[in-house]
Amino acid sequence: MLRTVTLNSGYDDVYEVGAVHWGGVTPIHSFEPRPAGKGINVATLARSLGSEVCAYALVGEREAVDFGERLSALSLTHRIIKVPGRTRHNLTLSVRGSDQIAAHMVSEGFTLSDRGPVDALVDRLIAEVQSGDIVTLNGSVPHGLPDTIWADLAKEMLRAGARLIIDLQGAAFLAALRDNRSILLAKPNEEECRVLPNVSSAVTPEEAVVVALNSLSQFGVAIPLVTIGAQGCAYISHGEVYVSSCPVPDPRVAVGAGDAFLAGFCSALASHEDPGEAIFSGLSVSSAYVSGQSPSGLRSAAKAFKERIVTAPGFDKGTALPPGTVVS
């Protein structure tokens, strides 16, 4: 079972328009409000790939029923805990017939005065998780909650025997790494890496990625990995840094590519593929998603993209630090 956790859920309001004329009028060709949030995105895409998934999320009390109904319509098992206030709405905007990549605008997430709803969500998760389940902790922390909240949940999941994956940001990301030494996969992007030790002092972007990977390794992450946009992803395997890429000739969307990667990775892992093969599955699903493929055709499109993956030793200097090296 794959279980995803989202504390800052939302809707992605996806518009396709004829053009953008500031101060003028233009037709809307399509509009769809989609349940979203990083863990929700992973769950819905993994479900479309055929995985058994349960999504755990905080949702504003005004939209909880609608949000749950939309997840049910996607055949996605879910556990929703209501929180005061409204669920945020984000905007995804694309122009029909244009070769421009869709724009994405993000609203503020929840502000919570206490951690009661999170504790209720955690209690439900602890009651249901089983040893060997894959659990992903995804996204940001609502305003008003401590940065350690993901670290606390990570401890509980590791204690339960789950295979833990984190896709977090900022101080909460660093706290989760420092407090837990048995994380299976961490997958920051280049921007999210900046919080890791010594990354900000790197001279080049390539050096920063290598430093980040070494840092993740020293924090005990079994599969240190950094997504690097159109270049694919960099990761450590058998003590060496590798870069795998899967070019997309005509990219249509960029936001959410990391969530698609996780969906592909987790689905492959749940199907008993080895971690290396799971990385390739994640990359191929991400590329299919970036190409604009719909969820219903994601699996078949990913198979075609998987044949295009190219892997090479990373950045010509891709050597991991030896075990035991201290990262300050």
CATH of the domain at 69: 3.40.1190.20
Instruction: State the pLDDT at residue 319.
Output: 42
Percent of the chain's residues with pLDDT above 70:
95
Percent of the chain's residues with pLDDT above 90:
81
Please check whether residue 261 lies inside any domain of the structure: no
Please check whether residue 312 lies inside any domain of the structure: no
Domain of residue 22 covers 2-183
What's the mean pLDDT in 30-47?
96
CA distance readout (Å), 261 to 61, 107, 289: 30, 23, 9
Whole-number average pLDDT of the chain: 92
Please check whether residue 269 lies inside any domain of the structure: no
Q: Which residues contact 104 (CB under 8 A, 6 or more apart)?
A: 12, 90, 91, 92, 93, 254, 255, 256
pLDDT band of 134, cuts 50, 70, 90? very high
Please check whether residue 191 lies inside any domain of the structure: no
Please check whether residue 201 lies inside any domain of the structure: no
Residues 154, 40, 60, 255, CA torsion sign: positive
Provide the strand spans (E) within 147-214. 163-167, 185-186
Please check whether residue 132 lies inside any domain of the structure: yes
Instruction: State the pLDDT at residue 255.
Output: 87
For the chain, state the CA radius of gyration. Answer: 19
pLDDT band of 100, cuts 50, 70, 90? confident
pLDDT band of 327, cuts 50, 70, 90? very low
pLDDT band of 111, cuts 50, 70, 90? very high
Provide the strand spans (E) within the chain. 2-6, 10-17, 28-36, 53-60, 77-83, 88-95, 103-105, 134-138, 163-167, 185-186, 223-227, 233-237, 240-245, 310-313
Instruction: State the pLDDT at residue 238.
Output: 85
pLDDT of residue 275 exceeding 60, the answer is yes
How many helices (H) does the chain have, and how many strands (E)? Answer: 9, 14
Residues 210, 213, 167, 46, CA torsion sign: positive
Please check whether residue 18 lies inside any domain of the structure: yes
Instruction: State the pLDDT at residue 315.
Output: 62
Instruction: State the pLDDT at residue 191.
Output: 94
Instruction: State the pLDDT at residue 115.
Output: 92
User: Residue 143 has what DSSP assignment?
Assistant: B
φ/ψ region of 91 (left if φ > 0, alpha if ψ in -120 to 50, else beta) reads: beta
pLDDT in tens, 176-230: 999 988 999 999 999 999 999 999 999 899 999 999 999 999 999 999 999 999 8
Q: At what angle do helices 38-48 and 257-270 cross, to 10 degrees?
A: 50
> Alpha-carbon distance 6 to 293, whole Å?
24
pLDDT in tens, 299-326: 999 999 999 999 888 765 444 433 333 3
Q: How many domains does the chain have?
A: 1
> Alpha-carbon distance 88 to 35, whole Å?
10
pTM (whole model) above 0.85 = yes
Please check whether residue 109 lies inside any domain of the structure: yes
pLDDT band of 328, cuts 50, 70, 90? very low
SS3 186: strand
Q: Which residues contact 45 (CB under 8 A, 6 or more apart)?
A: 259, 260, 263, 264, 285, 289, 295, 298
What's the mean pLDDT in 223-246?
92
